[in-house]
A and B are shown apart, each in its own frame.
Chain A
């Protein structure tokens, strides 16, 4: 008998625009100790399926069918009986660990609440039990964390707390809804390892809901592919990846860029002139800290001496985890934030310190595409007005009909019907809005486009379309691009050269294939090994390279020399690692040998397989 059994589940919502069927007649079952993956794109109903099973639908939702846990029906039973089951036998971990924790409660109190509700433990026993579990989820410095508030913890630490809370009462089923989507790749790898370890040590079944094919290929035994509220394919993980039967599954798999495969290069000729040159760019922000009567300010060095060159027609990938300064660097190049030091040259002219009017002339040539397609468009302007806006500044000579023709041409070029001209951003999908953002950036025929996580907020299939569009525009207009992303697979797909940033400094800069085939810096190697490959056979035989602990704070002076502990030991805490050219065009920051950084071997279950 399966542990968890959903039969003919349908979920519908009453909205002002009529009834919406989010989930239609879906059935699945999970055996004890099994990990089932449910993959699908946004709006496919994958989350609603499990929210319905947990009795957590929003008020206008209605679920029909049958949900059984250990043979007991869950759908439609009284809330107090359901409460006894959810939280103890069946628990859930959500995507955003900050909103899932109550902000004003200490970690100890949050955890204790669960223990007291569902078990007979009382008094000091509760605290001890919670501490034990924080240790089990490998929380660094667990005793201190218990007394802290959620906002004092990093995203990965909060997710560990969420997992500890979910596992406290040894549930039979753990439902993880996009548990690592909001986290950096290295943190994601740690959390996935943790879930897998708990699954084997506690014998719990796991239902993993995600959009990420790489994550399911690492974790799951069986996979259900969901689209528009129904399962389109259901098979063992190896089957799905090796022999996808449904067309949609194949589309999904084809849409995912692969880190382990070189992408075709766009054949850059060797002697292109230099477009952009950044020399020792520095940006720092003042951060208010505790201490003193009014607090004191500390300098957060977001970008700390970055130099690079960009040739005409070249695409430079910029990777690094959150807080590494990649977006700030882009804004400093665009002169959207004032660099605190260093110089930026555009075609030999210095951009830094220019007055507004001269700068405006250069803005025509350098444009930016943002991450969040909806947020980067003015909600009160029609899309054509948004696209036309740069023309107002740079081409004031155009008549309004000429302008409209340019805009409609550009809309057609980026794959939007010009009939959408008078639409507003909220009437368009995320992919369409991103096309609008690209059209706005392209309307002045720039020579450099900075893509700041331009495809990160999109679903895999849409992401593939937008990437294709960007590549087409690149070869058509001879564009240079700076492509910023936390997603290494995407960066590999589009870049000619890749620059890896760590806490505001370049740690490695090399040609795209060189960097991914032969990473030299320990940080680069950690990053690359943390990205799950969407193929279970390859993924489960890969060796993970891990660095102990989480990404340290940029405010901590020692963290900048994390890869050069010998200098800290020597007392040179202000030492700036030099970039060394280890091969032609391959620059690596000075670092200590890898085995001195990380003496502990990786405990991942997949390294054992290798």
Chain B
């Protein structure tokens, strides 16, 4: 055995971790990988699309003013690929800008909720007893306040900005996350391998970090992936009400609201383009979330 020390790294074959197993199962899921592909293309397009645009998202094309219905219709010749909005601004650029906002809100919001919720829930669940009671009652109270109300109040009191939107969504999004994580932690805490670690003298913070968190990973990823569309929907609702991001910035929700308002004047493209981006995003996100859930929790084939 002494010959082994100092020699090359062990030639022992690598095992297949649960995470790799889940990744394999996800890759075998045709619907989920398809949706992930579409989502990837969408993100790619939203980032690179502006380079193809001939108009800025806040520029007004004065030539279309007055007759948006005919002059502002989608056309390659005018450079307004998706047409213009009622004020003559390029809808292609605006849709991409709005989709960017929505995706940013969705992913950043979900990430904030994931980090805060996981930390809070794991600590509460692992500590148990009175601390757990206290922390969870706080969550119960916060959950009783309607989240849209909180966000609207924040937007009214402070300036309407993307930052405030993140703060508002982050404030409310982590609550259910922490509950889910706490429940899982409670289950994990009584498992034998945690007891084994305690018997080995591993400290509580190490147990939380090395044993609890990695085992929460599956649930957290699945739940966070389903939180992304939820965040986008919440933001869109706020924007639909006209309380979202500040003009000239926009979001898919605001665009859909505008498009819906002008539906009756024959400018249907103003609704359809943002709406299809919105639907595509939400549907693919849900498909990916479902795929992740199946991959991490293979109950039956």
- A: residues with CB less than 8 A from B are 15-16, 60, 331, 334, 336, 356, 359-360, 363-364, 366-368, 370-372, 375-382, 386, 389-390, 392-394, 401-402, 404-405, 408-409, 418-424, 426-427, 437, 440, 444
Contact of B10 among A334, A381, A394, A418 (CB under 8 A): A418
Query: Looking at the complex, which one of B12, B14, B193, B202 makes contact with A418 (CB distance below 8 Å)?
Result: B12
Evaluate contact between A370 and B192: CB separation under 8 angstroms. yes
Contact surface of B with A, Cβ cutoff 8 Å: 1, 4-6, 10-19, 28, 191-193, 195-203, 210-211, 214-215, 217, 301
A423 touches B15 (CB 8 A): yes
Which of the residues B10, B16, B196 comes within 8 Å of A376, measured between beta carbons? B196
**Chain B residues within 8 Å of A378, by CB:** 193, 197, 210-211, 214-215
8 A-B pairs with C-beta separation under 8 A: A371-B192, A379-B193, A386-B193, A393-B201, A401-B6, A408-B1, A421-B10, A427-B15
Cβ–Cβ contact A409 & B200, under 8 A: no
- Expressed in whole angstroms, the minimum distance between the Cβ of B197 and any Cβ of chain A is 6
Q: Are A401 and B5 in contact (CB under 8 A)?
A: yes
Whole-angstrom CA separation of A394 from B200 in the bound complex = 8
Shortest beta-carbon distance, A484 to chain B, in Å? Answer: 14
Q: Distance in Å from the Cβ of A398 to the closest Cβ of chain B?
A: 12
Is A424 a contact partner of B198 (Cβ separation < 8 A)? no
Which residues of chain B are within 8 angstroms of A380 by Cβ–Cβ distance? 17-19, 214-215, 217
Top-7 shortest CB links A-B: A390-B200, A423-B15, A376-B192, A363-B201, A393-B201, A421-B12, A380-B214
CB-CB under 8 A from A402, the residues of chain B are 5
A393 to B206, CA, bound (A): 10
Report how far A390 CA is from B203 CA in the complex, Å: 11
Residues of chain A within 8 A (CB-CB) of B201 are 359-360, 363-364, 390, 393-394
- A-B contact count, CB below 8 Å? 107
Q: Which residue of A364, A367, A393, A409 contacts B202 across the interface (Cβ within 8 Å)?
A: A393
Q: Which of B196, B202, B217 contacts A368 (CB 8 A)?
A: B196
| Contact residues in B for A334 (Cβ distance below 8 Å) | 199
Give B115 Cβ to nearest chain A Cβ, in Å. 19
Inter-chain contact A377/B199, CB cutoff 8 Å: no
**Contact of B192 with A408 in the complex, beta carbons under 8 Å:** no
Measured between alpha carbons, how far is A440 from B4 in the docked complex, in Å? 21
Complex Cα distance A16/B295, Å?
13
Beyond A378-B211, A424-B18, whether A405 also contacts B5 by CB under 8 A is yes
A-side contacts of B15, CB under 8 Å: 382, 422-424, 427
> In the complex, which residues of chain A have a beta carbon less than 8 angstroms from the beta carbon of B10?
404, 408, 418, 421-422
- Asked, given contacts A16-B301, A408-B1, whether A377 binds B193 with beta carbons under 8 Å apart, the answer is yes
Q: Chain B nearest CB: distance from A430 CB in Å?
A: 14
Query: Which of chain A's residues has its CB closest to B212's CB?
Result: A378
B202 CB contacts on chain A under 8 angstroms: 389-390, 392-393
**In the bound complex, how far is the Cα of B192 from the Cα of A386, in angstroms?**
13
Q: Given that A60-B301, A336-B195, A378-B215 are contacting pairs, would A422 and B14 also be in contact in the complex, using a CB cutoff of 8 Å?
A: yes
